[in-house]
Structure 1
């Protein structure tokens, strides 16, 4: 089984080295987790599902890139996976950019250490391919990390500015009334009002300094319950068949976890609807569900015209996508995908996109199985 971002149905097209690397995934992550917790302070308090994040899929992408006959040149080829990893680190952890780079460096060490220990002989080209994938992953993850931190800081500052207007206005009014009054009792009451509002503003400023950019995102109100995601997938498939015919197939497994059932259903309906609409006519849309490192990987794959690399991020951004659709005078991927991102991120996870002509298009929601600790995580959607 592979967790790669294009969600292939089998590993038959991979080289022996790639398949061996996939078989050693868990050993690599055991080494990586132990070393990253020991060397990076921000990683020590994270639960395993939050710590491993989207890295298992990135690891499997690296394995694919070692196969000459497989249509993936590197782990970041045609996918937003590394960027989503950086975005998650910015939104729901105390990482800085040095910790983010550090965990990739440990990841590189763990891969080569385990492969060497298990007798997997790599040729020079394969070593270069692994290093190139990790270096590219670092670049994309750090770029997304910086952008997300900037967006969260701007949003928090805007919200704080808005909230400060009320107590600032009340303080100004009270001081003006003090200047106009000669009644000591009234002046004392007005001064008390002004002082109360100064304290309110002081508390807001302290919150800004303490939280930096966290707690600044829009949050969905989640009603978490325990259920099997496969039952939800089957329900969405039945509804899709009633509307569009038997194009949707399931290649998933039961995964029980704590999620908002209504929100996850709406998110999956949006992705499946887009896959049917934009998939090549006559081809199947495949929905898969897998468990990896206490996380749920819920993916939808379709064949058809790929999403261009320069447009892959805009499909999740309502304003930019609407503008792009207007300029091109054709219907875009719709406003549903920003909602899908909000659902994934509010559950403490993310959604990644993988799209090329050879591999088709895959949207993958990657969230912890138990989202109760991450409920209401900051989002960008």
Structure 2
């Protein structure tokens, strides 16, 4: 088997080229166009196969070791990557490995390096890889659905509670003006709940690479910003400040989604900021883009954790614990919504100046209508 290991080691690029050609030819409408994205972790799986072959001398040794730890981690990473790729399914992953197995077998036969023992080892290792990737793909999708549903359900609860409290506080003895104010608050909160409920139901049908559905319309975005400002001013004890150069910013936006991400940012600013210090919303309009930032004073987010705070399916134990975890999945959805608007999210956080999250949105990137957003997974 050492001969086969040597052939694989010397010819990795040629093997991967042959595999890639076969995948593009046999898997109809292969959804990945980038060579690097298509190959992903499979070159590492190929290296693992060569290492395992180099370690065993005969079939009896192979039979005693049916679990190959080297290959499992890279196979799991491969499955997680495919879960973030639009239109991918378990069937596609299994097809990739079947083609991988066949390509490798033909290559070793061509170079007179294929034996019965080599064939059995390939079967055992690649079956392990297939099972690991398929399980990882399925687990990642389920984790994604659970997190989306959990986040949306949490967001639905707040306006429903606000509507309930407003209704409970209604008393005809308080006068018509107060009743109208409470009625307006209740109706506004119920409408918001219905909008969010649609997203909650939609999240249950998420497929590979997909996030929430966004509904773009031509709108004045400042109406949504001022809504968040007004509601936050009523809810929080912190002073909420709004600074803007314009009260009309027209473009194609999903106003409900923008309200949600601003609410998340303001909520986090109050939660993690200095007690009773102001939370500031700044809006800056330009020809093509709009910048909205939310600033608070208080303990900063450590520099080495700032990138990881936006990751979705992060496997780092360090980033799953402590203060970073408490920011919740909301920041991932903020990044998702910003990118769906053709923009991005920026973060500046230090002890002297506090923490500022900036959302940049392209005003005319999208046409009116519904689209599925993309979710970016972390890859470790």
TM-score bracket for this pair, using the shorter chain length: 0.3 to 0.5
Higher relative contact order (CA 8 A, sep 6+): 1
TM-score, length of structure 2 as denominator length = 0.47
Which structure would you say has the larger Rg? 2
